[in-house]
Chains A and B, each alone.
Chain A
């Protein structure tokens, strides 16, 4: 019997079975997106707080839509980065949230570990929508669902992740998730953004600096967004990045035929990815968006719905052993 999840803070501590369960549970919600009337009463009367301390339009809208389609109400807390600097501590914000008694909290924050901080202090299910450079578990889940649907299964094939891996929580969550299924991962990008220590994240991870080597034999390619502020630190011209790491149709040919191309979005067309690839038949970006809704609905259904179980079965696991 699957251990009930109390929170979704990250992929690292989930088992293969838990991940497969979530992906399987997303399937009915994928089908649901095709209904003419996309409204359920399953979570009617429940409130989901969307606490986005970092700017995000796409993820926030995706969660808001998922909650609404399940019939839940949402509370929107959007803290601009500047108001945080004005001094309201995370703890105070947490207490404010607690006083409003939401049934679930979706949180995105610029500090790694912030969702765990909140989960340790509130008895409310927490879903991590991205914390610092640590994890973005729902992204990895929707990527896995997209890949599984196209390839039939998540087993030992070759994944390549291109771009600024060091600062990418999406990359980390994907590495944690797919390595549990035996996927072999190659990381590639400018050397200062792909340090060798990344190879210690999970088994079967290697890092290369030449895109040709990275794409050779790839079955799935995830192109990461180039965070434009990073281009200045150290100064790396956009042209340099395009020259060495842009995913072009020619480079895509180096991968296995029919290799899938994913991107967490938003894409900077012409920078990390060429238009032709982004819109081509191998691109899965639109499915990623639909699957994002399905995954988030499945998670809200399981974490926020239903009665509380006494005592909670899956406590936040201790990270240091």
Chain B
């Protein structure tokens, strides 16, 4: 999910250690022109780590091994997730599965409506996609449009044998017939809410929070 750079104005945070935080830590943050309020934390750093471990094992198990397997992370946050999954697989199986990156900007279906064109980035897929057992990796599965675009991009590169999807959070509200095979956590959300995934490679901190738009 695309996110703008935030500028914290007056953070009031209550340290909760490693417990799942039920107390609303209220702080207001300016994100583009939108003000959001954190409602609750969905995953802590340790929970993210455990979830990814579990997902890595699931992927290898349900693929009957690592043969032809490759991960493709969707820019931005799918990328560090896919790298961590590959590292975990290497740790327990000794196998280096190829990891690639895909940028879906050119395949989006909403470009005419977003104003100035978003910046495009390159894909980085150094292996051939033909006959591969691909797993697309992304942080949040929502409407499914991002994954639809990612599949378009992959088919432009060649003809994979199979494509499955692995996401950290599935938040429902699908607008496309898209299903994830490997799911970290399923969460019920409303349309005004946003699931924010913070990963240390990109955001500095490490957690998943549910925030709400302030009208």
Q: Do chains A and B touch in the complex (CB under 8 A)?
A: yes
Are A27 and B106 in touch, CB under 8 angstroms?
A: no
Q: Which residues of B contact A306 (CB under 8 A)?
A: 111-112, 114-117
Q: Which residues of B contact A99 (CB under 8 A)?
A: none
Are B115 and A309 in touch, CB under 8 angstroms?
A: yes
Chain A's closest residue to B130 (CB) is: A36
B173 CB–A CB distance under 8 Å: no
The size bracket of the interface on B is: 20 to 34
Task: Tell me the interface secondary structure of chain B in the complex.
Answer: loop
Are B112 and A307 in touch, CB under 8 angstroms?
A: yes
Chain A's closest residue to B116 (CB) is: A4
A25, B123: Cα distance in complex, Å: 12
Are A40 and B106 in touch, CB under 8 angstroms?
A: yes
A31, B157: Cα distance in complex, Å: 11
Are A36 and B158 in touch, CB under 8 angstroms?
A: yes
Are B107 and A28 in touch, CB under 8 angstroms?
A: no
A199, B60: Cα distance in complex, Å: 66
A39-B156 in contact given A28-B103, A28-B123 (Cβ < 8 Å):
yes
Q: Which residues of B contact A32 (CB under 8 A)?
A: 106
Q: How far is the CB of A47 from chain B (nearest CB, A)?
A: 13
A306, B108: Cα distance in complex, Å: 11
Interface residues in B110-150 by Cβ distance below 8 A to A read 111-117, 119-123
Most A CB contacts (10 A, CB to CB) among B108, B113, B121 go to: B121
B27 CB–A CB distance under 8 Å: no
Q: How far is the CB of A227 from chain B (nearest CB, A)?
A: 37
A45, B111: Cα distance in complex, Å: 12
Q: How far is the CB of A20 from chain B (nearest CB, A)?
A: 12
A217 CB–B CB distance under 8 Å: no
A38, B121: Cα distance in complex, Å: 17
Are B122 and A27 in touch, CB under 8 angstroms?
A: yes
Q: How far is the CB of B106 from chain A (nearest CB, A)?
A: 5
Chain A's closest residue to B149 (CB) is: A41
A35 CB–B CB distance under 8 Å: yes
Are A40 and B107 in touch, CB under 8 angstroms?
A: yes
5 A-B residue pairings within 8 Å (CB atoms): A4-B116, A25-B119, A28-B123, A36-B158, A38-B156
B→A interface (CB under 8 Å)? 103, 106-108, 111-117, 119-123, 152, 155-158
A→B interface (CB under 8 Å)? 4, 25, 27-32, 35-42, 45, 298, 301-302, 305-307, 309
